[in-house]
Amino acid sequence: MTGGGTPTAAPVGFTFGQQNKRVDTKKSQTNFTWALMAGIAYAISPNAKLDIGYRYVNMGKFSPGSPKKDGDVQEFRMGMRYSPD
């Protein structure tokens, strides 16, 4: 909507997805979720360390109606740790 309260149209080439999709709550599925992680910490000073890590998460298979069929996620992380004396 614009500031005056009048509805606006979607930009050219843009379509809205299904807003009121029916969800069947009677069916449920339980998946086993597991993760594998690895990482290193490199000391850049006596009190500061650079962390680099990787994580793989598998959340099982999703329902046939979902756009993504499997629940695999891969993450690369980087951070800093500081420990005062």
Give the residue extent of every domain in the chain: 34-82
Q: Is 5 left (phi over 0), alpha (psi -120 to 50) or beta?
A: left
- Predicted pLDDT of residue 63: 64
DSSP 11: P
Name the residue type at position 72.
Answer: D
- 61: which strand partners? 70
pLDDT tens series, the chain, 85 aa: 455 555 555 556 555 555 555 555 566 667 788 999 999 999 999 999 999 999 999 888 766 666 666 778 899 999 999 999 8
pTM of this structure: 0.53
